[in-house]
Amino acid sequence: MAQALQPVRGTHDLLADDFAAHQHVALTAQTIAGRYGYARVDSPIFEFSDVFHRTLGDTSDVVTKETYTFDDRGGESLTLRPEFTAAIVRGYISNGLQQFAPYKCFYHGPAFRYERPQKGRLRQFHQIGAELLGAAEPTADVEMIAMAAHMLESFGLKNAVTLQLNSLGDTASRADYRNALVAYLMDHQGSLSEDSLKRLEKNPLRILDSKDAGDQDVVANAPRLSDYFNDASKEFFTRVLEGLSALGVEANVNNTLVRGLDYYSHTVFEFTTTMLGAQGTVLAGGRYDGLVELMGGPATAGIGFAAGVERLVALMQEIGTMPTRAPVADVAVVPMQESAEATAWGIAQALRHAGYKTDIAYKGKGGKRLQRADKLGATLAVVLGDDELHAGTATIKNLKDGTQHTVPQDQLISVLRTLG
């Protein structure tokens, strides 16, 4: 029974301080996204399994090991969303949003993966992210990365993260490189891990991402993707680099950074940190020009990014840029005797309607209630004793400096406004 009363492994309760931190990240990011023309949207928490299984690939770790997939009572296979991009693209197609291209959206919410829980990695986690559909120009990549950098700067993380950037080239370049990579890996099959052998046929670029030590030794001498770029791919990446430089966004070109799925092309990027141990990626994204078509829509360019809220919060707390939580109450109403309670509750309700964050204790002597008001972070206390009750007044006490003065109850709100 005790076990049943615990949260499921890999999940946790967002208590008041945790929720305030998450809300700060989400609302700050949404504000920045809005300045770039990205509107907040949301998608269902679960989709038909094909939305994710087809797009992420049958050989990806997410599909083979991590999705929460189940049959509902109608026999439909459903999957809790492990990421947002496929769901956003599904919504773009099913809602006929092509007419609004270029289509910009921002999102925030929970996602689910059956992973081994560890610091910075949960089974129910939260993401912020943005997608831009219908813009094939390199300036779209520049804007997306600049917006991500702007968000991280607004969190106070500018000096805590590094932008890693690479290009995967266009479809023709990737096809040439894929053939060369497969030929190289086929000659080293004996040194590859079991997972990489499975990926060799369907998803060989995923092997470049492998964390297996043997795979990494093989990959170290593999052909370089940039050696297979055609002129169009080279020009596209050059324009992205020049655009970022013009905006003052510093980037490190990392030739080992890839996305293994076939619909990715051109720009891929990550903002990484050394302050969170093994979970060093705090925001990642890339261009996915083939995804809309893969899902049954018209050929449409796309680029986006996602960031884990838990990791952002952890990093902000690590370096001290997370704002302190706002006080529970700005004003506390304190009846000193039971006879003043009815009037005190009426005043508290009036203050709330006037826009004040107001607390009133349910019981206790006046001194204890004043202690509670201070603990809740209230700046002012409205004190009501027998003297005030008989005179129709209230005493406003500043809990920070101890000053106080008495005012008529019908002037209380106007006086409070003068006090800020």
Length of the chain: 420
**What is the token pair recorded at 112?**
């689910």
The rounded distance, in Å, linking the Cα atoms of 348 and 334 is 9
What are the structural domain ranges in the chain? Answer: 3-170+230-319, 331-418
Task: Per-residue pLDDT tens, the chain, 420 aa: give them.
Answer: 456 788 888 889 999 889 999 999 999 999 999 999 999 999 999 999 999 987 776 545 555 578 899 999 999 999 999 999 999 999 999 999 999 999 999 999 999 999 777 766 789 999 999 999 999 999 999 999 999 999 999 999 999 999 999 999 998 998 899 899 999 999 998 899 988 888 887 788 888 878 888 988 998 899 988 899 999 999 999 999 999 999 999 999 998 888 766 678 999 999 999 988 777 899 999 999 989 999 999 999 999 999 999 999 999 999 999 998 777 778 999 999 989 999 999 999 999 999 999 999 888 887 888 888 888 888 899 999 999 999 999 999 998 888 999 999 999 999 999 886
Residue 357, both tokens: 């964050």
Q: How far are the Cα atoms of 399, 408, 415, 416 from residue 405, in angstroms, in the given order?
A: 12, 10, 10, 11
Strand order across the 77-80 sheet:
46-48, 77-80, 69-71
CA–CA dist 293, 55 (Å, integer): 10
Query: Do residues 106 and 41 lie in contact, with contact meaning Cβ atoms separated by under 8 Å?
Result: yes
| Homologous superfamily of domain range 331-418 | Anticodon-binding domain (3.40.50.800)
The whole-angstrom separation of Cα 178 and Cα 31 is 40
DSSP label at 190? G
pLDDT value at residue 168: 93
- What is d(CA 222, CA 346) in angstroms, rounded to the nearest whole number? 75
Among 320, 333, 261, 332, which Cα is nearest to 86's?
261
Nearest to 126 by CA among 114, 112, 116, 115: 112
Query: Which of the four CATH numbers 2.40.110.10, 3.60.15.10, 3.30.930.10, 3.40.50.300 does domain 3-170+230-319 have?
Result: 3.30.930.10
The rounded Cα 117 to chain-centroid distance in angstroms is 18
In contact, 314 and 111? CB cutoff 8 Å: no
277: burial class by Cβ within 10 Å (0-12, 13-18, 19+)? exposed
> Is-contact 312 155, C-beta < 8 A?
yes
CA distances from 102 to 56, 95, 105, 131 (A): 24, 15, 10, 10
